[in-house]
């Protein structure tokens, strides 16, 4: 089941820190992650890879948590597509397929981190926080590169 934006607006609620898409075919881990992360982030959920990719085309997502073992599109397939569509999105793998080769492959395709199930809530919160930090640093660097290029272009016109 896909769920919409869950940001509370007005009423003095604290602003959310960003938007996360949780992708897992199992309801238990998906709902657990949602409960843990919802106080700080806008949350969307998808129960399969195609649903996740469809949602990525419609919503502004900052971080994706992604299971590797899903029916239909595997987590690896979804990871590759995410990085083709929107390379700036940070992806954290959360899977029961916690092998070293799986972790290597996920990182090779652009995952920023890898958590095994059953997951520790404190670890999840820390790793998601670091994913947002990485994303923010990358955005700052891209902004600085753009400024430098713009300054260079202005200098060449003189």
Domains of the chain in start order, with CATH, are 19-133 (3.40.50.2300)
Helix (H/G/I), strand (E/B), else coil: 20: strand
pLDDT tens digits for 123-141? 999 999 999 999 999 889 9
pLDDT tens digits for 40-66? 999 999 999 999 999 999 999 999 999
* Crossing angle for the helix pair 75-85 and 49-58, to the nearest 10 degrees: 20
Q: What is the pTM of this model?
A: 0.82
Element housing 24 (H / E): none
pLDDT tens digits for 3-40? 443 333 333 445 678 999 999 999 999 999 999 999 99
């Amino acid at each position: 089941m896909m769920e919409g934006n869950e940001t509370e607006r007005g009423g003095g609620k604290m602003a959310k820190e960003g938007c996360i898409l949780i992708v897992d075919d199992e309801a238990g881990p998906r709902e657990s992650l949602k409960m843990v992360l919802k106080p700080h982030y806008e949350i969307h959920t998808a129960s399969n890879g195609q649903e996740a990719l469809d949602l990525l085309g419609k919503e502004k997502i900052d971080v994706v948590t992604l299971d590797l073992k899903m029916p239909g599109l595997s987590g690896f397939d979804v990871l590759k597509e995410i990085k083709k569509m929107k390379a700036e999105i940070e992806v954290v793998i959360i899977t029961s397929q916690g092998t070293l080769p799986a972790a290597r492959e996920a990182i090779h395709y652009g995952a920023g981190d890898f958590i095994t199930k059953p997951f520790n809530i404190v670890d999840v919160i820390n790793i998601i926080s670091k994913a947002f930090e990485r994303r923010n640093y990358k955005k700052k660097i891209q902004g600085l590169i753009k400024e430098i290029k713009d300054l260079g272009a202005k200098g060449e016109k003189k």
